[in-house]
Amino acid sequence: RSIKIMNNQLTFFCFAFISLTIATLSCDDSDYPMDNWIDIPLQTMTPPAVFFNPHEVNVSAGDTFSINLYALEVENVAGIQLRVQYLRENLDFLDMEVGELFIDGYDTLFFWDSTETSYLDIHSFYLATDDYTYSNGTASIATAYFRAKNSLDSEIIYDRAETIMVTPDNIPIPIKSYGKAIINVD
């Protein structure tokens, strides 16, 4: 009886292995086109880059909304300073929260300043240690929250002269592309 059970189990495992092998070999690799409306602005950007997500927001006057500030395909980045410009006459800056680019097992510092009219300055970086720490990839640096004050459309852009990325040795990393966010208010 135990030989019959073992024989049934062996037959089952052989069948499962053959089925899995056939299923694996018959599958094609997925080739997803970047045709999502979120991806469209990224197709024209040359990394390393900074962009906003979403790149277009539709709101009504008085609505609050969030914009993610992203780094695109960065390498060896230990610190980022972003200067974001917006029309204070049209938008109220409400709050900011840290993104995921520098969130890991290392000590980081994150702060922002919104006291200068129509500018939002964001600083995020690893604290100096004996170990060189840096991040790679595409990730959110921060999320900014705004309120549409009136029914006028607006843009949120990066100030190219004041938006900077650096390596652990404090060497500037040239940013090749800058995205913008369009705020449509009805």
Overall size of the chain counted in residues = 186
pLDDT tens digits, one per residue of 152-181: 999 999 999 999 999 988 999 999 999 999
Q: Write down the pLDDT at residue 106.
A: 65
Percent of the chain scored above 70 by pLDDT? 74
Number of neighbouring beta carbons within 10 Å of residue 181: 25
pLDDT of residue 144: 97
Task: Give the pLDDT of residue 18.
Answer: 64
- Gap between the Cα atoms of 41 and 23, Å rounded: 37
Whether residue 59 has pLDDT greater than 50:
yes
The mean per-residue pLDDT over the stretch 135-149 comes to 95
Element holding 16 (H helix, E strand): helix 2-26
> Using an 8 Å Cβ cutoff, are 82 and 50 in contact?
yes
Rounded to the nearest 5°, which phi and psi values hold at 118?
70, 15
16, 47, 53, 76, 163 from 173: Cα distances, Å: 52, 11, 22, 9, 11
pLDDT in tens, 84-139: 999 999 999 999 999 999 876 567 889 999 999 899 999 999 887 766 688 899 99
Give the pLDDT score at 28: 47
**What would the two tokens of residue 38 be?**
């979120």
Q: What's the gap between Cα 125 and its chain centre?
A: 16
